[in-house]
Structure 1
Amino acid sequence: PWESFTKDIILLVFIVILVLGKEFIRPLFYPRTMKGIAITSLIVCIIYGYYVLNHLPQIDFRPYKIGANITEGMSYPEDAPKAVFEYAWKFNINGKEEVIITQGDYPQVEGEFVGVETTEIQKGYEPPIHDFTIEQEGVDYTEVLMQEDKLMLVIAYDMAKSEYEAFSEVQKISEIAMNKGYKVIGMSASNEEWTGKIKSEYHLNFPFYFTDETTLKTIVRSNPGVLLLEKGTIKQKVHYNDLADLKID
């Protein structure tokens, strides 16, 4: 909060300068040129936005970018700061309710314990990847699968909204990958009814695992999308419109 407040104060100073000196502000270009720049900028933004929606972003700032190792992203450094909690203990002492605050130890008080309220006063370290699991029938296979030398992930966060025509191409690519020694799995937040339907209709010869929908959207903004991993490291990631660009060694 103090950083945000300081930023606002600094910006306020510059805003005051702008307000007081507004009569000195002049446009860089003539009105017709400014209008042309505005229209061109709008067209470029629309085209680029359309491109990003139909392909992957040019720069990936997420923890699942190409080159990132998922296992390392979930690990905690040895010197990582831990969360600090404050405990407000309520006791009835001689008919009067009193609150004793500690950092966790139970207070040595002669009185009747009423209750305790816990407050996190300092956040601990949170790894970049903290909600990634690959589950099947309640069993988490994340650790085992992240050790695979060749792993292909077919991600469809919501099969009710998937681009179904892309699964035909996914089926062909998955067969090629399996013939080249890849373990292929699907990851979805959809139920077994949907995964079974898609597998049957498009002849997908690989199992599907459950992963949280938000996590899958964070991994790849494509429904479906395909990733190639080597011992947990993301080597390639493609949108369903770019499946032909996938290089399966």
Structure 2
Amino acid sequence: MKVVRFICRILLGLVFIFSGFVKGIDPMGSAIKFGEYFSAFHLSFLGNFSLLFSVLLASAEFIIGIALLLGLRMKIASWAVFLFMSFFTLLTLILALTNPVSDCGCFGDAIKLTNWQTFLKNVILMVPVMVVFLERNKFSVRYKPLGEWVTLGILFTGILLVIRYCYFYLPIMDFLPYRTGTNIPKAMEIPEGAPQDEYKTILYYQKDGVTKEFTLENYPWQDSTWKWVDTKTVLIKKGYQPPIHDFRFTDQEGNDITDLVLYDTRYVFLLISPNVQKANTAGIMQAKSLADLCHGGNCAFYALTASPFSEIRNFTEKNNPGFPFYHADETTLQTMIRSNPGLMLIKDGTIIAKWSYREFPEVERLKNDILGYAVTYYREKRESLTKTILILTLLLTLAVIKILQLNFDRRD
């Protein structure tokens, strides 16, 4: 039984760490998912707390996973994982039955699961959860409580710092369809022979005051006493959907400008603001110099938003950004970049770079070599991030070893 306890503890620890981490590196994505759930369950008043719930959920999952993986505070960790999984197993059953939101978001955008798949996953995980919970008193306590609490506190602080960085800038790992290097036209293609959506047509006919449902195969076309009432088309099987399927922009007159963006041979900068009223105004105004640079003809600039044109007009009159806004779907814009506003650079339909408004490129440096600047920016950012992660990992490892093995006495 000791081996079974060990396997169950490690398995749950890894699952919870992964789940918490992928949510933590995309806090805005998790906040958007919470907002969808709140709207579906008519709890819109909680919408302003979506980001808070996102941070709490990600950090809680991560620290529970760490506690299980390292065997720290096992009685508390056992109760935490039992209560956590019991609640979410019941919740996912409700979601599977009602299907208010198609994707549960339990693994962020890293792994997409339907509500029924999520429920089945939770049912399977409840097996090791029950093993850990029922055997919670048999896990050995190797270190003093203070050492374990300090270790968990350090790791909790670490995941909060990661979440903070990804919120203020952009996710350190991008699982979204619009990640850097993606060719948008190719990502919109449907492969030959791919499954198509399947629909069922329901015909409603009435006779003697009674309305009945018919299909195209059995409707009473030869009986004139039946009078047609209504026709409905129902999707019975979803076909293949390309990773990018809603990339479309229009101007204020409704003219489609998507091809102008995708097939422009110049560098194209897209200023993305899903909602101008919730955007950082200084960030939008910062893009004015970039728009002026593109007026010279070396590049193109488009500002995209999902806000109604009345709100765009009010924003323009108040702030005078100096460039027009084009319209797009809000979900599309939120998927393109996790910043409001954010900036995306594309060329020939391929995404070259993405920036949060807190790190918009310097126009003076762009004048000479746009591609060179983007490549240098990503190389420097990746090198800096790699060094930071390595240093923090080393310091964290040394701190944990010091706390657990040197500063505190081991228990037999």
Q: TM (normalized to structure 1)?
A: 0.82
Larger helix share, 1 or 2: 2
CA distance in 2, matches of 1:243, 1:162: 15
Residue from 215, 220, 228 that aligns with 2:337: 220
Alpha-carbon distance change, 28 to 78 in structure 1, aligned in 2, over 3 angstroms: farther
Once the 2 structures are TM-superposed, how far is the Cα of residue 146 of structure 1 from its aligned partner? Answer: 0.6
Once the 2 structures are TM-superposed, how far is the Cα of residue 93 of structure 1 from its aligned partner? Answer: 7.5
CA distance in 2, matches of 1:181, 1:139: 24
Q: Which residue of 1 aligns with 2:263?
A: 147
Question: What amino acid does structure 1 have at the position aligned with 2:150?
Answer: G
Structure 2 residue 286 is matched with structure 1 residue 172: no
Structure 2 residue 317 is matched with structure 1 residue 193: no
Larger strand share, 1 or 2: 1
Alpha-carbon distance change, 22 to 224 in structure 1, aligned in 2, over 3 angstroms: closer
Tell whether the 8 Å contact from 1:85 to 1:119 is kept in structure 2 after alignment: yes
The answer for unaligned runs of 5 or more in structure 2 is 1-95, 97-115, 372-412
Residue from 35, 38, 50 that aligns with 2:149: 35
Once the 2 structures are TM-superposed, how far is the Cα of residue 155 of structure 1 from its aligned partner? Answer: 1.6
Greater CA deviation, 130-139 or 40-49? 40-49
CA distance in 2, matches of 1:29, 1:49: 29
Alpha-carbon distance change, 185 to 90 in structure 1, aligned in 2, over 3 angstroms: closer
CA distance in 2, matches of 1:162, 1:56: 16
- Provide Cα deviations, 1:49-72, integer angstroms capped at 9, x if missing partner: 222221111111111111112222
Alpha-carbon distance change, 172 to 26 in structure 1, aligned in 2, over 3 angstroms: same
Task: Tell me the secondary structure at the aligned position of residue 159 of structure 1.
Answer: coil
Residue from 240, 243, 248 that aligns with 1:128: 243
Structure 2 residue 175 is matched with structure 1 residue 61: yes
CA distance in 1, matches of 2:301, 2:182: 19
Once the 2 structures are TM-superposed, how far is the Cα of residue 168 of structure 1 from its aligned partner? Answer: 4.4
RMSD: 3.0
CA distance in 1, matches of 2:119, 2:168: 39
Structure 2 residue 264 is matched with structure 1 residue 161: no
Once the 2 structures are TM-superposed, how far is the Cα of residue 147 of structure 1 from its aligned partner? Answer: 0.1
Tell whether the 8 Å contact from 1:157 to 1:189 is kept in structure 2 after alignment: yes
Structure 2 residue 191 is matched with structure 1 residue 77: yes
Alpha-carbon distance change, 88 to 179 in structure 1, aligned in 2, over 3 angstroms: closer
Tell whether the 8 Å contact from 1:93 to 1:110 is kept in structure 2 after alignment: no
With CA pairs under 8 Å and 6+ residues apart, which has the higher RCO, 1 or 2?
1
CA distance in 1, matches of 2:279, 2:120: 45
Q: Percent identity?
A: 27
Alignment coverage as a number of residue pairs: 244
Alpha-carbon distance change, 129 to 236 in structure 1, aligned in 2, over 3 angstroms: same
Greater CA deviation, 166-175 or 228-237? 166-175
Question: What amino acid does structure 2 have at the position aligned with 1:216?
Answer: L
- Provide Cα deviations, 1:137-164, integer angstroms capped at 9, x if missing partner: 1111102321012211112222223222
Q: Which residue of 1 aligns with 2:77?
A: none
